[in-house]
């Protein structure tokens, strides 16, 4: 069985004579011992070719299975002396490009020379892995157009369910066999060149059929796509749909690349695709570089055919319009992305990645997961970030910046900013608070900061560690959207001048802090006045008077009857805890006042229980919401609505 590291070696071994004959023909016609001439010349001495070495190669796709190859060759031209005795009178190094064409199908056949020319300075065109392995050139700026051309050609007549990529239509139309299979954990899929056997599962999940049937020693035909039964691209954040889209791009772009791999290694049965990509390295062999580029193209385009640009824009509009008006803006972005993910049949992190890719920077604050930990979402002014900017940074990235960037370390050492484990924020109580829902003490952005991240958080620039030009960046953004613990994929940088322009000035911060301190003083004053009261009814009356809210208004906002509210104010009855919570949201009392009102009614939500967790969450995060919004959150906790049903106001007939 033959095995070659690259096509240059293959041509050296198998087509050396053909290449040498082509050069010999040119030498016999054009070479006079000193150099080459445009016209045929007659030389007294005979010349022979020796030490032929294939130095460079550029392959070009052609019609059907035909390919063209420009082969860069170095040779010695040996001049033989005059007379009957054979001897060498001179030897000179020369360089040529020999152009070949052949049929790449079941091997390389019908190879013939279509041109030969001398390279005068011995400098061949700079070769790269794409040229050598028939991997097409694709620029990052062309990816969206390539995806749209693909869908226009192959899926024009397809029926879409919501916005989901019509996998079955494509497979059936192009007669491609796709099977789930038992594959290694690090392999998301395979494209087969030759017959083989594998353990497969006969029904795919998107068929909406019963559980797949496991079939061992299933006959695999050339051209078959196998996808991992349990693993996806990007691990847990992928789907079978994205994996198949990935393999479809290989089918679409890389069939000649696969034929070439088969030619170079007769024992090679398939190309395997990694669950998580490797980093590009200049020390890779040409074959490894070609594989990296082919995988980059498949990964970058798979997301685009699964979530086409125009479809995403429409889905975003539809999903945003479907979010209830009562939803706080900081949660509306996540709810929108959640709906988009459902429409396309992908995970929320994939939806975030695609939306961020298309320039919607507000997605940066949604579904935050850093170093394996989740954090509350945040929002900021639209168009604050460009594609290569983020508020998020992991521990290792933060520590590296602190060690290597003097401006950054000086800022941290000044005490003005503090790292919270996911963002770096102004070190002030207005912007940071203790996370009430974390069992361990940790600081997070405050409710105010979560709606004004651009006011208080540093912006970082990032670049992928591909060692390639920016046009080949893709994986860095993927990992920033999936899980910011991607030290091997992303490097952060800090620009002091940029952050100085974006963040508030010291004067603005001072004004904001004074405003914040006044609000805190007002809270202390109000709580002090409440301490002088004795009953729940007195406290309720105090807040209604303070906020200028009439009984009729509180009835509307709390869904309690006017009779019930009047009895509470008079102190005739003690309300159940559900009704106290209804009063709190009806008055939109901040957390401190709500806890105080609960205390007046004889309730505490300190003890840990599902109900108390839910009530603490409502008071801490949604005190400015509505009763409707609170009841939706209670639904999520599987708890009954508030207020108590028997105290609700009667609906108007």
Question: Does the pLDDT value for residue 209 go beyond 60?
Answer: no
Mark residue 478 as left, alpha or beta (left: phi above 0; alpha: psi -120 to 50; beta: remaining): alpha
Average pLDDT over residues 313-336: 89
Question: Does the pLDDT value for residue 9 go beyond 90?
Answer: yes
CA dihedral sign of residues 301, 67, 270, 11: negative
Domain for residue 341, yes or no?
no
- The reply to whether 479 and 444 lie within a common domain is yes
Tokens of 437: 């829902």
- The reply to whether 487 and 413 lie within a common domain is yes
Look at residues 486, 502, 518 and tell me which one is the last residue of a structural domain. 502
- What is the number of domains present in the chain? 4
Tokens of 535: 């009953």
Question: Does the pLDDT value for residue 462 go beyond 80?
Answer: no
Tokens of 397: 């990235």
Domain for residue 514, yes or no?
no
How confident is residue 35, by pLDDT bands cut at 50, 70 and 90?
low
pLDDT digits (tens, 9 = 90+) for 492-514: 566 666 555 555 555 655 666 66
pLDDT of residue 363: 92
Question: Does the pLDDT value for residue 345 go beyond 80?
Answer: yes
- The reply to whether 421 and 474 lie within a common domain is yes
Average pLDDT over residues 246-257: 91
Domain for residue 471, yes or no?
yes
Question: Does the pLDDT value for residue 519 go beyond 80?
Answer: no
- The reply to whether 112 and 171 lie within a common domain is no
Residue 32 and residue 62 in contact, taking contact as beta carbons nearer than 8 Å: no
- The reply to whether 297 and 203 lie within a common domain is yes
3-state DSSP assignment of residue 389: strand
82 vs 546 pLDDT, higher one:
546
CB atoms within 10 A of CB 48: 16
Summary mean pLDDT of the chain: 84
Tokens of 365: 């604050």
Cross-strand partners of 98: 71, 116
Domain for residue 220, yes or no?
yes
Question: Does the pLDDT value for residue 84 go beyond 70?
Answer: no
Question: Does the pLDDT value for residue 606 go beyond 50?
Answer: yes
Phi, psi angles (nearest 5°) of residue 148: -65, -40
> What are the angstrom distances between the C-alpha of 116 and each of 8, 13, 59?
17, 19, 15
pLDDT of residue 164: 93
Tokens of 295: 């995988």
pLDDT of residue 470: 44
- The reply to whether 53 and 148 lie within a common domain is no
pLDDT of residue 486: 44
Strands 225-228 and 270-274: unpaired
How confident is residue 471, by pLDDT bands cut at 50, 70 and 90?
very low
283 vs 110 pLDDT, higher one:
110
- The reply to whether 360 and 440 lie within a common domain is yes
Residue 88's domain comprises 7-127
| CATH number of domain containing 583 | 1.10.260
Domain for residue 373, yes or no?
yes
- The reply to whether 427 and 542 lie within a common domain is no
Q: To the nearest whole percent, how much of the chain has pLDDT over 70?
A: 85
> Which string of DSSP letters, residue by residue, matches 393-435?
--HHHHHHHHHH-HHHHHHHHTTSEEE-SS-EEESSTTTEEE-
The winner for highest mean pLDDT among 190-194, 237-241, 438-442, 649-653 is 190-194
Tokens of 41: 């010349």
pLDDT of residue 210: 57
- The reply to whether 380 and 416 lie within a common domain is yes
Q: Which of 12-16, 179-183, 465-469, 548-552 has the lowest mean pLDDT?
A: 465-469
pTM value is 0.69
- The reply to whether 543 and 629 lie within a common domain is yes
pLDDT of residue 587: 94
pLDDT of residue 445: 93
Nearest CA-CA partner of 269 in 229, 301, 315, 226: 226
Strands 368-370 and 373-375: antiparallel
How confident is residue 81, by pLDDT bands cut at 50, 70 and 90?
confident
Mark residue 64 as left, alpha or beta (left: phi above 0; alpha: psi -120 to 50; beta: remaining): left
H-helix or E-strand spanning residue 643: none
Look at residues 127, 156, 185 and tell me which one is the last residue of a structural domain. 127
- The reply to whether 175 and 275 lie within a common domain is yes
Question: What residues contact residue 530 under an 8 Å CB cut-off, 6+ apart?
Answer: 539, 542, 593, 596
Q: Which of 136-140, 490-494, 548-552 has the lowest mean pLDDT?
A: 490-494
pLDDT digits (tens, 9 = 90+) for 222-244: 888 998 888 776 565 667 888 89
Look at residues 127, 151, 172 and tell me which one is the last residue of a structural domain. 127
386 vs 499 pLDDT, higher one:
386
- The reply to whether 87 and 158 lie within a common domain is no
Question: Does the pLDDT value for residue 468 go beyond 70?
Answer: no
Domain for residue 529, yes or no?
no
* Residue with token string 């200049």: 282
492 vs 628 pLDDT, higher one:
628
Average pLDDT over residues 179-191: 86
Domain for residue 517, yes or no?
no
Question: What residues contact residue 524 under an 8 Å CB cut-off, 6+ apart?
Answer: none
CA dihedral sign of residues 166, 169, 173, 179: positive
Domain for residue 413, yes or no?
yes
pLDDT digits (tens, 9 = 90+) for 578-605: 999 999 999 999 988 999 999 999 999 9
Mark residue 556 as left, alpha or beta (left: phi above 0; alpha: psi -120 to 50; beta: remaining): alpha
The winner for highest mean pLDDT among 51-55, 399-403, 522-526 is 51-55
């Amino acid at each position: 069985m033959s095995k070659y590291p690259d096509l240059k070696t293959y041509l050296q071994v198998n087509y050396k004579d053909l290449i040498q004959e082509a050069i010999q023909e040119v030498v016999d016609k054009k070479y006079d011992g000193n150099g080459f001439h445009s016209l045929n010349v007659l030389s007294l001495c005979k010349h022979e070719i020796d030490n032929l070495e294939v130095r460079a190669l550029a392959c070009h796709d052609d019609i059907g299975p035909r390919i063209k190859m420009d082969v860069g060759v170095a040779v010695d031209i040996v001049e033989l002396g005059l007379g009957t005795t054979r001897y060498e009178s001179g030897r000179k190094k020369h360089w040529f490009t020999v152009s070949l064409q052949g049929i790449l199908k079941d091997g390389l056949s019908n190879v013939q020379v279509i041109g030969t020319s001398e390279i005068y300075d011995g400098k061949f065109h700079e070769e790269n892995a794409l040229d050598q392995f028939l991997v097409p050139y694709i620029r990052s700026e062309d990816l969206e157009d390539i995806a749209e051309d693909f869908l226009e050609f192959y899926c024009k007549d397809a029926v879409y369910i919501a916005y989901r990529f019509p996998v079955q239509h494509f497979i059936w139309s192009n007669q491609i066999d796709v099977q789930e299979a038992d594959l290694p954990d690090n392999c998301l899929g395979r494209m087969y060149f030759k017959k083989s056997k594998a353990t497969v599962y006969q029904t795919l999940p998107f068929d909406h059929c019963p559980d797949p049937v496991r079939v061992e020693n299933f006959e695999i035909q050339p051209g078959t796509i196998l996808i991992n039964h349990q693993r996806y691209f990007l691990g847990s954040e992928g789907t079978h749909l994205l994996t198949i889209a990935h393999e479809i791009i290989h089918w679409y772009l890389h069939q000649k690349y696969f034929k070439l791999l088969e030619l170079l290694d007769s024992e090679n049965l398939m190309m395997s695709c990694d669950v998580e990509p490797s980093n590009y390295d200049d020390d890779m062999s040409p074959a490894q570089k070609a594989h990296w580029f082919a995988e980059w193209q498949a990964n970058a385009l798979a997301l685009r055919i699964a979530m086409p640009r125009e479809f995403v824009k429409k889905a975003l509009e539809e999903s945003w319009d479907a979010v209830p008006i009562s939803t706080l803006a900081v949660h509306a972005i996540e709810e929108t992305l959640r709906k988009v993910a459902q429409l396309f049949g992908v995970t929320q992190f994939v939806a975030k990645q695609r939306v961020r890719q298309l320039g919607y920077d507000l997605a940066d604050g949604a579904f935050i997961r850093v170093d394996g930990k989740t954090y509350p979402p945040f929002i900021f002014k639209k168009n604050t970030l460009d594609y290569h900017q983020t508020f998020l940074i992991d521990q290792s990235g933060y520590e590296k910046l602190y060690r290597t960037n003097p401006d950054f370390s000086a800022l941290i050492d000044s005490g003005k900013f503090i790292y919270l484990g996911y963002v770096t924020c102004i070190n002030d109580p207005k912007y940071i608070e203790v996370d009430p829902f974390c069992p361990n003490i940790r600081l997070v952005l405050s409710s105010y900061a979560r709606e004004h991240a651009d006011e208080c958080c540093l912006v970082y620039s990032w670049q992928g560690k591909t060692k390639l030009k920016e046009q080949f960046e893709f994986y860095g953004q993927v990992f920033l959207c999936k899980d910011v613990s991607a030290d091997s994929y992303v490097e952060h940088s800090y620009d002091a001048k940029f952050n100085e322009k974006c963040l508030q000035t010291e004067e603005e911060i001072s004004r904001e802090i004074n405003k914040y301190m006044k609000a805190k003083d007002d809270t202390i004053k109000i709580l002090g006045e409440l301490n002088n009261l004795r009953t729940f009814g007195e406290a309720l009356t105090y807040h209604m008077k303070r906020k200028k809210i009439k009984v009729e208004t509180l009835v509307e906002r709390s869904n309690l009857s006017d009779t019930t509210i009047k009895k509470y104010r008079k102190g005739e009855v003690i309300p159940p805890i559900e009704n106290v919570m209804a009063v709190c949201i009806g008055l939109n009392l901040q957390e401190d006042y709500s806890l105080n009102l609960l205390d007046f009614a004889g309730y505490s939500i300190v003890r840990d229980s599902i109900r108390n967790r839910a009530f603490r969450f409502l008071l801490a995060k949604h005190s400015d919401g509505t009763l409707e919004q609170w009841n939706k959150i209670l639904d999520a906790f599987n708890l009954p609505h508030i207020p108590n049903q028997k105290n609700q106001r009667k609906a108007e007939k």
